Amino acid sequence: MNLCPVCGNDIVHGLLICPFCGGKQDHQPGVVAAAGIFHKVVNLELGKPLVESALRKLQMELEGGRQQNLRVLTVIHGYGSSGKGGAIGAECRKVLAYLKENGAITTFIPGEEFRSKSGPTRDLLRRFPQLATNVNLNKGNRGITLVVL
């Protein structure tokens, strides 16, 4: 058995495509890939920072995630106490949209769209089946965003 470098599932040695996530297998014969950690939760609202500080932390976490070969970050940005959405969340999603447009991240899924019946979420769950047990799935949590690196 080998571990898929994309999703970390055990797959039969010699397969070129992972049956779980569809990821291309680029391992050499006889070499077992390490699954490692593929997902991390990042809390931007911890300590109630100003928007600028939270966005700097987001950039640092994205860079660190790439260096650690993470595939998905769950970014907690909060929704704001007013019930109309918080400034950190709004600005965070603007930055993520810019990064996606410029190819710096693959995509992002707002928490309220992180539903198993949503097309982007189905694609994400196909690539990373472990996220099917994520506590935020199908909860409509507007205070988070999932980022696919």
pLDDT in tens, 41-74: 999 998 889 999 999 999 999 999 999 989 999 9
Between CA 8 and CA 97 the distance in angstroms is 27
Per residue in 117-145, pLDDT tens? 999 999 999 999 989 999 999 999 999 99
CB-side neighbour CA atoms (13 Å) of 14 = 0
Which of 8 and 69 is assigned the larger pLDDT? 69
pLDDT for residue 32 is more than 50 = no
- The CA distance from 115 to 111, in Å, is 8
Q: Give the per-residue pLDDT at 14.
A: 76
* pLDDT top residue among 36 and 38: 38
Q: What percent of the chain is modeled with pLDDT above 90?
A: 62
Number of domains observed in the structure of the chain: 2
* 56 and 101 within one domain: yes
Do 68 and 108 have their domain in common? yes
Parallel/antiparallel/unpaired status of strands 144-148 and 107-110: antiparallel
Q: Which of 37, 34, 40 is nearest to 61 (CA)?
A: 40
3-class DSSP state for residue 30? coil
| Mean per-residue pLDDT of the chain | 85
Same domain, 117 and 68: yes
pTM, two decimals, is: 0.75
Tokens of 73: 């970050």
**Residue ranges making up the domain that contains 108:** 37-148
Residues 48 and 104 occupy one common structural domain: yes
